[in-house]
Amino acid sequence: MNSRLESRYIAKAAVIAALYVALVWALTPISFGAIQIRVSNALIGIVPLVGMPAVFGITLGVLIGNIPSPLGPVDLLSAIPTFIALLLVMRLKNRSVLLGLVIYSVILSAWVGTLLNYAFGAPFLLTFVYLLVGIGFATAVLGYLVYRTLRRLLEVK
């Protein structure tokens, strides 16, 4: 990869990470907890269009965005299942973008539910369901709308 392409790759990832963090922090009251609608997850809809810069940008965004998490430093580990789930979104992009977004929602809901159970003793199953509704809405519904809208805009060019 030449230096110009590397610079563009890094710039895309940095912009996506910054946007993700800004949305998480601006909407902190609904970005954390058992009932959360992390609006920043709508950015996951760009992963099938932008590729690996979006994967790295969102992963970095989750890492930085979770710094003020009520769960404390353990929530920084959320970047790991995020990265894995984003790779699955990439892997499924030619089969079904929506399926990838739903799988992402399930994986992250299970992860955050586990963290909330560990940190606060929240009942896993009930917490998982609440999380799946919020994360699923932000990721599978809003993210898919972002994906479809941007795909149409890119086709027009």
Q: Give residue 34's pLDDT.
A: 84
* Percent with pLDDT over 90 in the chain: 92
Q: What is the pLDDT of residues 78-132, one digit of tens each?
A: 999 999 999 999 999 999 999 999 999 999 999 999 999 999 999 999 999 999 9
Instruction: Give the mean pLDDT of the chain.
Output: 96
Q: Give residue 35's pLDDT.
A: 86
| All residues at 6 or more sequence positions from 40 whose CB lies less than 8 Å from its CB, including other chains | 19, 20, 21, 23, 24, 27, 31, 61, 65, 138
Q: Is the pLDDT of residue 1 over 80?
A: no
Q: Is the pLDDT of residue 149 over 80?
A: yes
Q: What is the pLDDT of residues 18-68, one digit of tens each?
A: 999 999 999 999 999 888 999 999 999 999 999 999 999 999 999 999 999
Query: For residue 81, which of 102, 107, 45, 101 has the smallest C-alpha distance?
Result: 107
Rounded to whole angstroms, the maximal C-alpha distance in the chain is: 51
Q: Give residue 157's pLDDT.
A: 61
| All residues at 6 or more sequence positions from 105 whose CB lies less than 8 Å from its CB, including other chains | 132, 135, 136, 139, 140
